[in-house]
Structure 1
Amino acid sequence: MLGKKKIVAGAVLSMLLPLSAFAAEDAPLNASDRAAIVQTLVEKINANYIEPAVAERVGRAIASKHAKGGYASATSAKALSEALATDLREISGDKHFGARVVEGFRESTSAFEPLSRTQVDEWHDAVVRGGYGIEKIERLPGNVGYFELRNFGNPTFVGQAYTAAMMLLAGTDALIIDLRRNGGGTPMSSAYLISHFFPVGDRRHLSDMYVRPDNTTEQFWTVPTVAQRYDKPVYVLTSPRTFSAGEDFAYGIQAQKRGTVVGETTGGGANPVGWYSVGHDIAVAVPDSRTTNFVTKTSWDKAGVKPDIAVPAAQALQAAHAAILRSLAASAKDDKARTELQRLLAMVEKGETDKPVYILRGER
């Protein structure tokens, strides 16, 4: 049975709720409404934010600003949610904080709450319409695979799509996974995808997640039942927009020494959120869990994932492709293959393409 886990990142809240939920009327708020919302928010942060000392500091700052009339101009739920979201991020330094108006929002009562059949169907349809988060699969010159992934959906929905993508890329000599525009999702799917890059029988403990509200810890391991495995070199592209579960994948594959990260330092959001109701249809994302990588015993929170090859994000694909071709040319088994790989490398380094240009009849 599918459930709505409180650890699901904010990037996929829209997949958990009907599209109509975001069309809520921008309800007006009076001074009493704002006071109640702020009080509830402070209570929820103190009770649930993963760092209690920071929670107290954030709560005091929000309450102090309200007492001084700092939110008096926020006369609607939308305006107040936007103001609170900005302040929560700035005061805490935690980019996972957020707030938005969601019509009829109801807070989960436990870390795992079953979804209705309608919610499951709507969530599934949204994932399918979004191509399972897969933006592009391509074979680049030199037999290099390219896999661009924009988000990590629930593994129940996306797992088979990931495996199908890996089947298409199975014959390549190296693989580039592009997470430069990956805003996050579920850590379960990050673990599912990374499972494709270890041999059958080589099960890895990836990370642990402590959930403060429930005082529980969940372990994340590679999935032994993943059918398709890939044993060639893996390069992961990152940018400051790479966030949350996207960072989890990049950090995990780097920590396990299974891949090379290329690009820029990522956004630095390692603490997954729970969504909490503070009244008037305002849902607030509070980072209530802590991820700890099993290998490093720490995480990328606030610091971000540091690339192994640091280049501007816009140049990361070119840099990774060139590094792969350089390595393949050095290990080529015959002169013909080596010469061809060196030719392709020269083109990639110049920013040229080896793809055919199609000219319609009559345009010559």
Structure 2
Amino acid sequence: MNNACMLLFVLIVVGVARTCNGRGLVKNFYKMTCPLAEKTVRDITWSRVATNSALGAKLLRVHYHDCFVMGCDASLLLDTVGTVQSEKEAGPNLLLSGFDVIDDIKTQLEKDCPGVVSCADIVALAARDSVSFRKRPLWDVLTGRRDGKVSLASNINGNLPSPFSDFATLQQLFAKKNLNVNDLVALSGAHTIGKAHCGTFSKRLFNFTANGDADPSLDTRYANFLRTKCPNPSDPATTVEMDPRSSLSFDSHYYQALTQKQGLFQSDAALLTNIGSARLARQLQNGNAFMVQFAKSMLKMGAIEVLTGNAGEIRKKCRVVNP
């Protein structure tokens, strides 16, 4: 094969690889332009997780909420400008946190490599690194995302899965993002870490069918326990572990609790109402099986409607679009 043909072959292979890896996303995108970018994200994230063990759940949730609305473009990070509310101001996002960590990472990267690393890639990397604290990365993060310029609270409707959703609704929302039932069940496993406010599940405890009853799909003893933790479900300060007895460990315990009817949300319990998803939930009780499927599903989720190439921009500050 002559040199010209060899060059053409290499270009074709690279092009195919970029396409297969999520519309232009690749591994080590910043290898030449900002070689220490991923190490910087990891180091700052780990330094913050070391003093705040709850941060992993928070940053993972930010990544989820960003990707399901307008794609993984960091539109969630934009502050409201004027009278039109940004995504941050929508009800499901009001309790999100961890934005200060993203800001710290971006500030350092702008010093090291001005205008190179996107906020969208920082979100994806920080989410992974925060739950991989002092361990090997739990999943690959492909990079090359660019940042969106539009953030509207109104875009939340019909895109972001709700803790109150039934299986049909969840399946439909995930399908809109090219995610299948395997992805739905695996990504629900992120509920193995973190806490939830009582208002997101209290209806299951006190007035499920408007007759003062509890959700029959919830284990009775677990429901009684939750009532003691949430005697005043409207209190915004009260939280409960999403994965009972294992909310700080990223593992497969969520599925054990789920199959024992101890899934906290209606959306958790909904996974047991479909034969296929219930079967997968039982399979993912195996820790290795969970990690493998979760990694695959995170790779897919991280590529939802991404902006690459010349689309979007590389924000100088993650909270505002460039002037």
TM-score, normalising length: structure 1: 0.26
Q: Based on CA coordinates, which of the two structures has the bigger radius of gyration?
A: 1
**Larger fraction in helix:** 2
The structure with the greater share of residues assigned to strand is 1
Q: TM-score, normalised by structure 2?
A: 0.29
Q: Which has the higher contact order (CA 8 A, sep 6+)?
A: 2
